[in-house]
Amino acid sequence: MAKASSNGAFELCVKQEEPTLVPPEETEKGLYFLTNLDQNIAVIVRTIYCFKSDSKGNEQSAEIIKDALSKVLVHYYPLAGRLTISSEGKLIVNCTGEGAVFVEAEADCAIEEIGDITKPDPVTLGKLVYDVPGAKNILEIPPLVAQVTKFKCGGFVLGLCMNHCIFDGLGAMEFVNSWGETARGLPLKVPPFLDRSILKARNPPKADFPHHEFAEIEDISNTANLYEEEMLYRSFCFDPEKIEKLKKAAMEDGVLPKCTTFEALSAFVWRARSKALGMKPEQQTKLLFAVDGRQRFRPPIPAGYCGNGIVLTNSLCSAGELLENPLSFSVGLVQEAVKMVTDGYMRSAIDYFEITRARPSLAATLLITTWSRLSFHTTDFGWGEPVLSGPVALPEKEVILFLSHGKERKSINVLLGLPASAMEVFEEQMQF
């Protein structure tokens, strides 16, 4: 039985065995190129997938998943290598074939006892993903670290730690689904397209567009002080009815002929968060979000492209403009930011990094990351689809995550962390 900690809260106990390396059955050697879009978001992403089958226990789960990993890594061989720095000072993969890190573990309770995994909980959920001890930077963390934790009820959790420079959400999803197909003895539905040179910078590079995603904004509202408070993590569910109501509110003044769920929800939470953080009217604030460029590049990127096919776009305005204008104003800004993402803009973003090596700045910024279109819930290793799946933690305090929710995935969960006093204001604005 999982024990309650001294303050009465649930405390998950997980016993991890020693990590092993799972090399691919065969591999290509050499250096593997990562694009400028990969360089930009080299953060560690931790996710978990909970499986439980009525007809099949978890006795063989680790063995089957580990065996399938050595086979699927043949197709995805860069994952078995190690990150290093190229002669140009950029991240690159050294395809050593060392293998992914794999850990078997056991939990002392039933899977249901973990509670609500739709809310990031780094303390509890973090125990289900193996952290490489003593790693001082991302170069010391292998591109793929996997942990299979068996629970007393016959269920198990696959916890993954992957570097975003290897995959974006879609690429990661295709990899995990391919791994599941391999475990079930099936051919890969979407074989990976590994040649990332299709997105290399032009020679000579030319930045044809302004790239405000990199703009450093001064925090004149002193929000940094707020962040010294205790951080609270919450998830807010927007069901189809609430989403419809929000879209109607965005269009009621007749300024916008149409708007998508993403546009309405992004604009709404951007306003709500700016207000919750007590931004001064003259405070510049920036919204950043990723747009999938796969179909927007000319020619479009081939199916199965496993690198980052996403490009960050942005909106910039003052908090005053955001809050004093109707919702249609901020939705309009989001629509402009989406429209901006053309082949020319994306090539310019790739070249801008080539010239400046700049990283997107997160000062006075909200970064929205959308997983609501990713079908992580379809992954099947032979125990059926996951009963639950999601992130372990939000990568940065400036990030808000949109996750699809419910049986038909029609609802959206909005996940975020805010300082306690700001969360109170944010929660009030979610009631509409």
Between 70-84, 220-234, 308-322, 364-378, the lowest mean confidence (pLDDT) is in 364-378
Q: What is the pLDDT of residue 7?
A: 44
Q: Is residue 50 predicted with pLDDT exceeding 50?
A: yes
Give the pLDDT confidence of 396-430 residue by residue, as tens digits: 889 999 988 766 678 999 999 999 999 999 999 99
* Contact assessment for residue 323 and residue 274, using Cβ atoms and an 8 Å cutoff: yes
- The full 3-state SS of 264-311, as one line of letters, equals HHHHHHHHHHHHHCCCCCCCEEEEEEEEECCCCCCCCCCCCECCCCEE
**pTM to 2 decimals?**
0.92
Q: What is the pLDDT of residue 388?
A: 84
Position 70 confidence tier, pLDDT thresholds 50, 70, 90: very high
Position 375 confidence tier, pLDDT thresholds 50, 70, 90: low
- For the chain, give the percent of residues with pLDDT over 90: 84
Task: Give me the chain's average pLDDT, please.
Answer: 93
Position 114 confidence tier, pLDDT thresholds 50, 70, 90: confident
Residue 351 parent element (H or E): helix 343-356
Residue 69 parent element (H or E): helix 61-75
Q: What is the pLDDT of residue 40?
A: 86
Q: What is the pLDDT of residue 407?
A: 63
Position 10 confidence tier, pLDDT thresholds 50, 70, 90: confident
Per DSSP, what are the bridge partners of residue 238?
412
Active site residues: 164, 380
Average pLDDT of the residues in 39-60? 93
**Which residues have C-beta within 8 Å of that of residue 113, sequence separation ≥ 6?**
2, 10, 12
End-to-end, the C-alpha distance of the chain in Å comes to 41
Position 373 confidence tier, pLDDT thresholds 50, 70, 90: low
Average pLDDT of the residues in 89-115? 95
